[in-house]
Amino acid sequence: MKRKMFLLSLMAVFGLMAINAQKTVVSKKTTQDEIFLKVDEMPSFPSNGNGINHYLASNMRYPKDAEKQGIEGRVIVTFVVEKDGSITNVDIIRNAHPSLDKEAKRIIEGMPKWNPGKIDGKPVRTKFTLPITFKLR
């Protein structure tokens, strides 16, 4: 019985040490390079009276090959809004067609600086996901 209690106590001590080690690692992370998915204030497109849909419509050049073939689709793009609002790490996470994917990436990479995401009032790097729909008229 004493041996069983000793083993249980020993396991509990090691378990607490492992939990504390994990907490220490988490608390030592620098938010300088960390990319957040959830923030107090999400990044926003600088609208100036027009929103992101206006930007996309004004800057989209429907790829000729996709237009000729009657190809439509939705491309889902992720990117990081940096602390200064610039856009980096553009990645296509749902493809539609190679030409549409390439155009979606071009549009996102050419966007003006956004208003950055914030935690406790301080700008942080934030991952953002945006669907872009290509529809022939």
**How do residues 2-34 score in pLDDT, each as one tens digit?**
443 333 333 333 343 333 332 222 333 445 789
**How do residues 39-89 score in pLDDT, each as one tens digit?**
999 999 997 767 999 999 999 999 999 999 999 999 999 999 999 999 999
For the chain, the first-to-last Cα distance in angstroms comes to: 79
CB 62 within 8 A of CB 134: yes
Distance CA 117, CA 126 (A): 6
Written as one string, the DSSP assignment of 88-105 is EEEEEEE-S-HHHHHHHH
The pTM of the full predicted model, rounded to 2 decimals, is 0.75
**How do residues 84-111 score in pLDDT, each as one tens digit?**
999 999 999 999 999 999 999 999 999 9
